[in-house]
Amino acid sequence: MKHNWSLLVRISMSGLLVLVLVSLLSIFFVQSLRYTEAGKVPPKTAVMLHAVNKQLLPEGLKTPSFLASKAPPTIQRLDMIMDTKDGDTIPVRVYKPVVDGPHPVIVYYHGGAFMEGFGNIEHMTISFVP
């Protein structure tokens, strides 16, 4: 059986070209999402804001079981309400290490695109901090 190597090479090169073009279009699309009313945001934040804005995330999204750790938690999550000077309130979430410190402090302000919401999208990221 004789193989037509030039046809095989042309098909492979065409597939590679399509892959490169799709990759470049994806990169340009994500880059276009980075510019918001509040300014330029990191690519990961841009994708998350786009997904939230277009309601692409299902309600009650949970970690897939094959990614969920069976180890005991290393942090405790506390949801609280903080009073402001003008009499309003702000929801506050505190992640506290289970073991005694001293520990560093990270203060993260979730602006919710400065329109609505609470920092639920960041829970997965923050809960993986060792």
Its pTM stands at: 0.40
The pLDDT value given to residue 13: 80
Strand duo 75-83 + 89-97: pairing:
antiparallel
The pLDDT value given to residue 2: 59
Distance CA 8, CA 47 (A): 37
The pLDDT value given to residue 76: 85
Which residue ranges in the chain fall short of pLDDT 70?
Answer: 1-5, 7-8, 36-39, 63, 67-69, 110-130
The pLDDT value given to residue 16: 84
The pLDDT value given to residue 38: 60
